[in-house]
Chains A and B, each alone.
Chain A
Amino acid sequence: MTTNDIQNEIIDNFSLFEGDMESTLFYLMDLGKKLPAMPDEHKTETYIVKGCQSKVWVFPTFIDGKVHFEADSNTEITKGLVYLLWSIWNAQTPEEILNSELFFIDKIGMSRMIGSQRSNGFASMIKQMKLYALAYKTKGA
């Protein structure tokens, strides 16, 4: 699936809740549980995403031209947000990650859901994952 296909699927799934905040949060927290476990030894200071209120770790690897992410957070809602990004970008090429526009964020009403402080943290996650992709692209080129 392309990153756009995955985003459209996310939008469809969130639309089922018709903007009801509580069920949306429950859903988001359940999504977080689907993130593959991240080994503790990768949860180091180096891999913490700076700018998040909660702790978020992203650990990248580059295998066969694709970026693979391990990720985790110490709060459940944030972990759900991390899962959304992971589901879109894990095992994609650096180009696909760098060129993808995350239109799902506005479509699911994320800012209303997570507030401005968390929005900043979410932007930091996006930036960090794109930076890893850029690094691999530069290295690969």
Chain B
Amino acid sequence: MLNNITQIRAQFPILHQEVNGKPLLYFDNAATTQKPKQVIDALQRYYELDNANIHRAAHTLAARSTEYFEATRKTIQQFINAKEEAECIFTKGVTECINLVAQTWGKANLKPGDEVLITTMEHHSNIVPWQMICEEKGAILKVIPINNSGELLMEEFDKLLTTKTKIVACVWVSNALGTINPVREIIQKSHAVGAIVLLDGAQACSHLQVDVQALDCDFLTISSHKLYGPTGVGVLYGKRELLEAMPPYQGGGEMIKEVTFEKTTYNEIPYKFEAGTPNIGGVIAFKYALDYVNELVKENIAAHENILLKHFVDGVHQINQTNNNAITLVGTAANKVSVQSFNINNMHHFDVGMMLDAKGIAVRTGHHCTQPLMHRFNLEGTVRASFALYNTTEEVDVLLQSLSSIIKFSNR
């Protein structure tokens, strides 16, 4: 549990403001989390004191920025328990991580008739890159279905998984539903048929313990900005032997060993995949986000968030008892993180979102970049509340009261 919540909230400057004349309640954490002062200060410090391009120049600033940049790599390696730092590649985000794997591993390994397996609850960024490479290589994209609670149908997975399956690209935690998928089982079964597994960890890494060696996943994607760090930074974890065998993604500076007009030899991993000047300040500041999460201890964060989720869901059930089941929850898996999609019956999710915003409450509305998932539920979209370490049960109470008053208004 987090028992110093006032102190925690004090570290997030953005939370202390009014929106539309009301105190801001930020429940759009699955879209992006807010940043603690430590991260904001690190960004500012980098540009004020240390800004220099990394891995190149001989001067002191460059040495300093390189040292700090690589310190983040060390921290993320430990954060996910990768075997070595070189297995952690900095990208501009999870979308780029997945495109990188699809365009390099996919290009080198997929053949006509091969199958790529994804789930119904993928974010578009774990669908479209695979569609693109499948189309290019004549491979087939297959989709694991889900039940009405938003859980994978594992018996269907067993049927879909064959020796034709070359990669299973699977979201660890659904951004729209909050479902935690049984990734250990998926990885073990996939490896048994010779398929590799990419886990989309965009949502998972801020809530769950990550140990890539224990999981034995082949790739894992991580988003800084969903983990209290800056935007524009992602990390692709990949097993060394896979990364080494993969062709480069983009050509340019940093990724080369030697360039002549006749031939270029490529750098070692991770640099082979880090062409061009990266978001240096963002990467450096990301370390402070990881340190922050480590300091609070993930189990404590998860316990706190689970209390918030339960408080919200219990509150919705209470509202429903006296309001003719006015709220429909979408995503009721047994194993979930603190994300809850819902709709108010007979109200459009956009209207609910706008009315909440008028009360200073930030939620996400729409299809959450998961249109196929919305189609599965015959929905155009949902309202999504997602809770983070700085949210409180008092805030959740305000959300519940606001939903009650919106329901009363809609019954006018």
Contact residues of A with B, CB < 8 Å?
Answer: 20-22, 24-26, 29, 53-54, 74-78, 114
- The answer to whether B21 and A77 have CB atoms under 8 Å apart is no
CB-contact partner of B355 in A22, A54, A74, A78, under 8 A: A22
Known pairs A21-B357, A21-B358, A22-B359; A75 contacts B20 (CB<8 A): no
Q: Determine whether the beta carbon of B351 is less than 8 Å from that of A77.
A: yes
Point out the residue from A22, A24, A76, A114 that lies within 8 Å of B348, measured CB to CB. A76
Interface membership of B261, Cβ < 8 A: no
Contact A74 B21 (CB under 8 A): no
Cα A46 to Cα B358 in complex, Å, equals 34
A68 to chain B, nearest CB (A): 26
B20: chain A residues at CB < 8 Å are: 21-22
- Interface residue? B47 (CB, 8 A): no
Inside 8 A of B355's CB, which chain A residues have their CB?
22, 25
| Contact assessment for B409 and A26 in the assembled complex, using a CB-CB cutoff below 8 Å | yes
A54 and B358: CB pair below 8 A? no
Which chain B residue lies CB-closest to A24? Answer: B358
Chain B residues within 8 Å of A114, by CB: 354
* A78 and B357 within 8 A (CB): no
User: Could you list 23 examples of A-B contacts with CB < 8 Å?
Assistant: A20-B21, A21-B20, A21-B21, A21-B357, A22-B20, A22-B355, A22-B358, A24-B358, A25-B355, A25-B358, A26-B409, A29-B351, A53-B350, A53-B366, A54-B348, A74-B348, A75-B348, A75-B350, A75-B351, A76-B347, A76-B351, A77-B351, A78-B350
How far, in Å, is A73 (CB) from chain B's closest CB?
9
Q: Separation in Å of the A14 CB from the closest CB of chain B?
A: 14
* Shortest CB distance B355–A (Å): 6
- Tell me the minimal C-beta distance from A80 to chain B in angstroms: 10
Interface residue from B350, B359, B409 paired with A77 (Cβ < 8 Å): B350
Contacts of A24 in B (CB 8 A): 358
CB distance from B391 to the nearest CB of A (A): 22
Q: How far is the CA of A34 from the CA of B9 in the complex (A)?
A: 45
Q: Residues of B contacting A74 with CB < 8 Å?
A: 348
Report the 6 A-B pairs with minimum CB-CB distance, sorted nearest first: A75-B348, A21-B358, A22-B358, A21-B20, A76-B351, A75-B350
